[in-house]
Amino acid sequence: MDYTLRCESCGASYSSSYRKQTCDRCGGILSVAYKGRVKPPRFDGDFWSLESILPKSRYRRYELGSTELARSKIPELWLKLELQNPTRSFKDRGSVVEIAKAKEYGYKEVVCASTGNMAYSVAYYAKLSGIKAKIFISRDANRDKIRDIRETHDANITRVDGDFTEAQRRASNYAKRCGSFLAGDYCYRQEGQRTMFYEIASQLKGVTHVITPVGNATLISGMLKAAEEMKVSGALEKPPRIIGVEAERCSPMFKAFRSGKPMKYEAPKTMADAIAVGYPTFGDMAIGMLKRQNGSVVTVTEKEMALEQNRFLSEYGMIAELAGVAGIAAYRKLRLPKSAKAVAIVSGGNV
């Protein structure tokens, strides 16, 4: 779709030929504003049947997304198996959009900050597209993930002495200094992630709740945007409630959502590395949308995630990471009515 970009902080507007994902005027994050109403296409089981809702670009049709919505052992709960993506997490949905844009704008290198999965995904699609990838990875990122990224996808990795927020700062400085395309949790990724909501809405008619882990809040804000689009277009009469899940030991968005106070940075202390984000980039945007759409944010403990991870393996024979099962762990505490048709996003399986 044709679109413009709008700065979330100062309101500056840019055409789609603008080659960056942050505002030149104030450094704020941008969002994609489509020209005209988004018309939800029919999802036919192929990710690319949703191409018309993505920012216009020349996409290479890699196989991704279209993940299974499996029935869980709990009658009211379905599992969106995002670990079926090529790099075993939902990140691929956003990466194909970002990398297509980087290629379209003629960049030879992308740079991004990551707790692991994003780097894995960005490096994978960058390599397929013949673009170099430079990654700043947080101190606590999983070593096996880092080895895979370096060895399989030839990315140049710098491990920072700090958390994800510090890695983001380093990546952004690098982009300015070296003229690389700043990839990661920015507007084009958000657009790609929202395809997951379109898939769910078509895979489960009458879905009442979507429960999703939250790190930088790119996925949840993308899904909230998709829910709004489907409602406005009339494709969904009653969109499901979207519920974000943070780790109790790293829950800046939960605290801001519940207290009504501005979000504050919190040093992450969770073992769930993929959601160890002390200040979610899209947190404020997601909170605003959750309030408008009657959504919510909850937390899960380290123990709850660890138990769920073991249960997931023994019940389904699949390995998911801690963040990946946070949605199922949260479901158990939510006590939804028997009439619910809830979906927990199993977001990733890289351990």
Ligand X SMILES: Cc1ncc(COP(=O)(O)O)c(C=O)c1O
CA dist 115 and 119 (Å) reads 8
Residue 89 engages ligand X in binding (rule: CB under 6 A) = yes
Q: How far is the CB of 221 from ligand X (least distance, A)?
A: 8
Residue 246 engages ligand X in binding (rule: CB under 6 A) = no
Q: Counting beta carbons within 10 angstroms of the beta carbon of residue 314, is it exposed (0 to 12), middle (13 to 18) or buried (19 or more)?
A: exposed
Q: How far is the CB of 44 from ligand X (least distance, A)?
A: 26
Question: Of 163, 246, 304, 321, which lies in the binding site for ligand X, with binding defined by CB under 6 A?
Answer: 321
Q: Which of residues 205-224 bind ligand X (CB under 6 A)?
A: 213-220
Region from 6-14, 73-81, 149-157, 321-329 binding ligand X, contact rule CB under 6 A: 321-329
**Structure letter (DSSP) for residue 193:** H
Residue 348 engages ligand X in binding (rule: CB under 6 A) = yes
Q: How far is the CB of 174 from ligand X (least distance, A)?
A: 19
CA dist 59 and 57 (Å) reads 6
Q: How far is the CB of 189 from ligand X (least distance, A)?
A: 8
CA dist 203 and 68 (Å) reads 9
Question: Of 30, 131, 275, 287, which lies in the binding site for ligand X, with binding defined by CB under 6 A?
Answer: 275
Alpha helix (H) residue ranges in the chain: 91-104, 117-128, 143-153, 164-178, 187-193, 195-203, 218-233, 252-259, 283-292, 302-316, 322-334
Task: Name which of 326, 323, 300, 318 is nearest 141 in CA terms.
Answer: 323
Residues 328 and 322: beta-carbon distance below 8 Å: no
Q: What 3-state class would DSSP assign to 147?
A: helix
Tokens of residue 218, six digits: 């790119």
Q: How far is the CB of 110 from ligand X (least distance, A)?
A: 17
- Residue nearer to ligand X on the CB measure, 218 or 270: 218
CA dist 321 and 304 (Å) reads 13
Q: How far is the CB of 271 from ligand X (least distance, A)?
A: 13
Q: How many residues does the chain have?
A: 351
Q: What 3-state class would DSSP assign to 156?
A: strand
Count the residues of the shown chain that bind ligand X, applying the rule CB under 6 A. Answer: 20
Tokens of residue 3, six digits: 């679109």
CA dist 112 and 172 (Å) reads 8
Residue 195 engages ligand X in binding (rule: CB under 6 A) = no
Residue 200 engages ligand X in binding (rule: CB under 6 A) = no
Residue 31 engages ligand X in binding (rule: CB under 6 A) = no
Residues 211 and 342: beta-carbon distance below 8 Å: yes
Residues 165 and 280: beta-carbon distance below 8 Å: no
Question: Of 201, 274, 329, 344, which lies in the binding site for ligand X, with binding defined by CB under 6 A?
Answer: 274
Q: Which of residues 97-156 bind ligand X (CB under 6 A)?
A: 115, 117-118
- Residue nearer to ligand X on the CB measure, 92 or 109: 92
Q: How far is the CB of 188 from ligand X (least distance, A)?
A: 13
- Residue nearer to ligand X on the CB measure, 89 or 309: 89
Q: How far is the CB of 235 from ligand X (least distance, A)?
A: 24
Residue 323 engages ligand X in binding (rule: CB under 6 A) = yes
Q: Which stretches of the chain bind ligand X, using CB under 6 A? A: 89, 115, 117-118, 185, 213-220, 274-275, 321, 323-324, 347-348
